[in-house]
Structure 1
Amino acid sequence: WGFSGMLQASITPDIAAGFPHFHYFRFWLGHQGLILALVYATVVYDIRPSFKSLKKSFIALNIFLGFATIVNILMDANYFWICGKPVNQFGEHIPTLLDYLGPWPWYIISAEFVALAHFLLAYSPFYFMNKRRVKR
């Protein structure tokens, strides 16, 4: 889940302030730090995802999106771009992958399939490593 979200955020960053502003560093350190945490958990603690954990993560993501929708409504926010496609501080559209997924709210459904593909892609190296271990 973390890898999939970080990948999209890194490809199309939504940073209001540029280098060397605090929010610039907060964004990049937070998102890239997530990768370090995932690698650390995999290498040091030998934590490996399973297909079952993949399903649980996808369900958890959707529950989280439900809560994020409520927060967006209460705070007039747009976390995870649920309430509309991203715009910059001037109200101008920011090009993202969402532009290829249809208009709001339909892109949310399309994004579900993209997220599932990201999950499967992120899981695939572990799937093949597990298959190789079983053969030995």
Structure 2
Amino acid sequence: MDRSWSGPWFDANAPEGFEAFTPSHGLAILGLIVCALMLWLTRGWIRSNKPVSEGIRWLLITFLILSEVTLNIWYVMQHIWDVQTSLPLELCSVTLLLSILMLIFRSRWLYPIILFAGIGGALQAVLTPNLAYAFPHYRFIHFFVAHSAIILAALYMTWIEELRPTWKSVGGVMLFLNGLALMVWIVDDALGANYMFLAGKPSTPSILDVLGPYPLYILAEEAIALLFFSLLMLLFEVLPGGRLYVRFRKGALHGADRSI
């Protein structure tokens, strides 16, 4: 079968023209920001309207499933599926699959993984994409839809389902990531692959370029992940509904009562 049967937008041999922070990249980032902001601003209304909240939940599930299914269809149709590059063993691939399960079962166990590792990995991917194809290629659209959906899935569970992370869950997610990295490293060694970039840096520019040579950048990633998770946890503590926010409000109200 001719791999260009459906036009250059789907062809793996199309020119690899992606450049970071071009207008199309900026619009993809802006689209994610707008979706997250709308979810935050309308969270009370969504929670009070069951059909709306369920519709959003299943819309996210659908986008996540279609992202994984269509990607593998693209690999097969373009005759480029390869055990060294096509298995769902990248961090964002793992968190995408776990996001589907989290949304379907409203899993409190998977929620911290998606909130911290999912947002952390997907946000890095959105800002510094390891991507070859420019808009309107299928891979460009798939890349930003899939990573944005991971982030929005975590925010949905936080703002609509009202799950909350704890400081203990930060340590749990770090343990999960190290266990995952160990398993993926074993697979990389067996297949001669480079999933999760545990055997070398990506060929495209990324944040790893400033983190030192192999394998020091892996240790640097550990420190950055812990810092990011801690800052994200602190952010959720001070946002409305967070523990520090609630304590502050109670203290302020108590002080106001005493002054009356």
TM-score, normalised with respect to structure 2: 0.47
Moved over 4 A (4+): none
Contact 1:3 1:122 in 2 (8 A): no
Could you tell me how far apart the structure 1 residues matched to 2:161 and 2:202 are? Answer: 37
CA distance in 1, matches of 2:153, 2:176: 19
Post-superposition CA distance 1:17-74 (Å, at most 9, x none): 3322222222111100011101110122101111011111111011111111122222
* 1:110 pairs with 2:220: yes
SS in structure 2 of the partner of residue 112 of structure 1? helix
Q: Which of 16, 31, 50 in structure 1 is aligned with 2:147? A: 31
Gaps of 5+ in 1: 88-93
CA displacement at 1:103 relative to structure 2: 0.5
Query: What residue is the counterpart of 2:130 in the other structure?
Result: 14
Structure 2, unpaired ranges of 5+:
1-116, 251-260
Q: Distance in 2 between matches of 1:3 and 1:116?
A: 13
CA distance in 1, matches of 2:141, 2:184: 24
Q: Is the 8 A contact 2:188 2:199 kept in 1?
A: yes
- Give aligned-pair identity as a percent: 36
C-alpha displacement of 1:85: 0.7
Shift of 1:100: 1.5
Aligned equivalent of 1:46: 162
Structure 1 equivalent of residue 171 of structure 2: 55
RMSD over aligned CA atoms reads 1.4
DSSP 3-state at the match of 1:77: coil
The letter of the residue matching 2:153 is A
Contact kept, 8 Å, 1:4 with 1:122, in 2: the verdict is: no
Q: Is the partner of 1:19 in helix, strand or coil?
A: coil
TM-score by length of 1: 0.87
CA contact (8 A) 1:49 1:123 kept: yes
